[in-house]
């Protein structure tokens, strides 16, 4: 695997970091979005894409199936840890942001969805 294969994932990581560190006053507030829990869907999609992109280079590797699946698991766990850490960052250092367990659940769901997706794909390829 080459570093270049991870550039999209690194780019998305930086974008997610910026988005998660936006002050609360910079985030638009629309009552309709609160009703449909749009923020949770954003978290799910953001973390799915993050773990998806970091896992993708491993799908093209020559690693045995078990090692690729372990890599997918480690990436998902790193995504969950990143989401959890960012909730604490928001609580203590980002003005107008707060700690939400449901955000951690959404981040975890997105990370685990990417894990399931790549594990299924890897199993089909052998």
- Give the range among 42-46, 116-120, 122-126 with minimum mean pLDDT: 122-126
What's the domain range around 7?
A: 3-125
Per-residue pLDDT reduced to its tens digit, 9-45: 999 999 999 999 999 766 676 665 665 668 999 999 9
CA distances from 22 to 29, 98, 113 (A): 14, 12, 25
How many domains would you assign to the chain? 1
């Amino acid at each position: 695997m080459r570093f270049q294969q991870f550039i999209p994932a690194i780019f998305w990581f930086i974008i997610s970091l910026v988005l998660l560190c936006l002050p609360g006053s910079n985030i638009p507030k629309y009552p309709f979005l609160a009703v449909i829990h749009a923020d949770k869907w954003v978290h799910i999609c953001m973390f799915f894409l993050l773990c998806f992109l970091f896992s993708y280079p491993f799908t093209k590797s020559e690693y045995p199936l078990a090692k690729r699946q372990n890599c997918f698991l480690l990436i998902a766990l790193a995504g969950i840890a990143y989401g959890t850490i960012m909730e604490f960052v928001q609580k203590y250092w980002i003005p107008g942001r707060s700690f939400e367990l449901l955000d951690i659940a959404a981040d975890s769901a997105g990370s685990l969805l990417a894990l399931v997706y790549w594990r299924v794909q890897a199993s089909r390829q052998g």
